[in-house]
């Protein structure tokens, strides 16, 4: 029987993209998953499809709650709903997040604040709301960061700023919640394969080198298979690992950059396809 059988999970940003892939695997492994996003119609359609999925012998349930994780009112209602309907929480995955391309100098303060609100403050908000429930279950809190949580990048706008913050926040949570038996894990993935890879940032990156529009923003790095990444996350979670980095060889870059930022920048440049860009992550 799967470790996730009969567990109750919340995945934010789960109506599409990587969050949906992760939620799907949890359901297939027997968990009851509350998928969270803003568009209720899309959530309902996705849950109907997951609940009629016959491709599993060990099947859980997909439930949903429409919420904007940047709203304290919505998040309060989400956790009240989970408590009342499901009675417990074993896993929170803070997955909802926004990326961008652009120069910091040209990024408006409004756009910067918007990204901080979703990528950082929403993670704080959902984590705070989940802690009392996770304390009871001795469950798992997983924050989806990026390679850009560890290695600063060029032309990905405020994204690296917010993902470094997610790494710091996750470290603090890990230290503070260990004595309560809550497992806290940071996930640092490189670019994930998706249907709109390569065209997603066309509007934003019009003035920047063409490589910046590609997954990885110019770094020569293979995109990750989302299903494999989701499986790795669930296994690492079950083993209560502190951190998961994919591809794992990126840890070498992180170590070099810690020892010497200049060496780290040199390595990034060497693996970038343009002299004008040095970047990693999303």
Shortest spacing between CB 162 and ligand NAP, in angstroms: 8
Whether 201 is catalytic is no
| Residue 164 near residue 151, CB atoms below 8 Å | no
Distance CA 185, CA 15 (A): 22
Q: For 103-122, b where at least 16 C-beta lie within 10 A, e where not — what string?
A: eeeebeeebbeebebbbbbb
Applying the rule CB under 6 A, the residues between 141 and 160 that interact with ligand NAP are 144, 146
Residue 230 lies near ligand NAP (rule: CB under 6 A)? no
Shortest spacing between CB 229 and ligand NAP, in angstroms: 9
| Residue 93 near residue 22, CB atoms below 8 Å | yes
Tokens of residue 218, six digits: 């110019």
Q: Report how many helices (DSSP H) and strands (DSSP E) the chain contains, helices first.
A: 9, 7
Applying the rule CB under 6 A, the residues between 70 and 109 that interact with ligand NAP are 70, 95-97, 99
Residue 12 lies near ligand NAP (rule: CB under 6 A)? yes
Q: Between 30 and 69, how does the x/- string for binding to ligand NAP read (CB under 6 A)?
A: ------xxxx--x-------------------------xx
| Residue 189 near residue 231, CB atoms below 8 Å | no
Applying the rule CB under 6 A, the residues between 110 and 129 that interact with ligand NAP are 118
Stretch that binds ligand NAP, among 8-16, 79-87, 103-111, 252-260 (CB under 6 A): 8-16
DSSP string, 91-130: EEEE-------B-GGGS-HHHHHHHHIIIIIHHHHHHHHH
**C-alpha Rg value of the chain to the nearest Å:** 18
Stretch that binds ligand NAP, among 57-65, 185-193, 240-248, 271-279 (CB under 6 A): 185-193
Shortest spacing between CB 234 and ligand NAP, in angstroms: 15
Residue 15 lies near ligand NAP (rule: CB under 6 A)? yes
| Residue 281 near residue 148, CB atoms below 8 Å | yes
Q: Which of 17, 102, 139, 158 binds ligand NAP (CB under 6 A)?
A: 17
Active-site amino acid positions? 159
Q: Which parts of this chain interact with ligand NAP (CB under 6 A)? A: 12-19, 36-39, 42, 68-70, 95-97, 99, 118, 144, 146, 189, 191-192, 194, 215, 281-282
């Amino acid at each position: 029987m799967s470790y996730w059988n009969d567990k109750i999970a919340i995945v934010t940003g789960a109506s599409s993209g990587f969050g949906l892939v992760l939620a799907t695997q949890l359901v297939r492994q027997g968990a009851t998953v509350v998928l969270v996003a803003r568009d209720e119609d899309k959530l309902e359609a996705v849950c109907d499809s997951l609940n009629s999925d016959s491709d599993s012998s060990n099947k859980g349930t997909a439930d949903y709650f429409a919420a904007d994780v940047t709203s304290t009112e919505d998040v309060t209602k989400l956790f009240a709903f989970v408590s009342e309907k499901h009675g417990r929480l074993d896993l929170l995955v803070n997955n909802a997040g926004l990326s961008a391309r652009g120069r910091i100098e040209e990024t408006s303060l409004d756009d910067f604040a918007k990204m901080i609100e979703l990528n950082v403050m929403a993670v704080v908000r959902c984590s705070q709301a989940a802690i009392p429930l996770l304390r009871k279950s001795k469950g798992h809190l997983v924050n989806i960061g990026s390679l850009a949580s560890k290695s600063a990048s060029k032309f990905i706008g405020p994204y690296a700023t917010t993902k470094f913050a997610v790494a710091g926040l996750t470290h603090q949570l890990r230290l503070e919640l260990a004595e309560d038996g809550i497992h806290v894990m940071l996930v640092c993935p490189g670019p994930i394969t998706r249907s709109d890879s390569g065209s997603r940032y066309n509007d934003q990156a019009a003035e920047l080198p063409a490589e910046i529009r590609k997954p990885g923003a110019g770094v020569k790095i293979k995109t990750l298979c989302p299903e494999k990444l989701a499986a790795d996350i669930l296994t690492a979670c079950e083993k209560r690992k502190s951190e998961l980095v994919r591809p794992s060889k990126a840890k070498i870059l992180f170590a070099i950059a810690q020892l010497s930022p200049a060496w780290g920048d040199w390595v990034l440049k060497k693996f970038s396809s343009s002299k004008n860009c040095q970047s990693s992550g999303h």
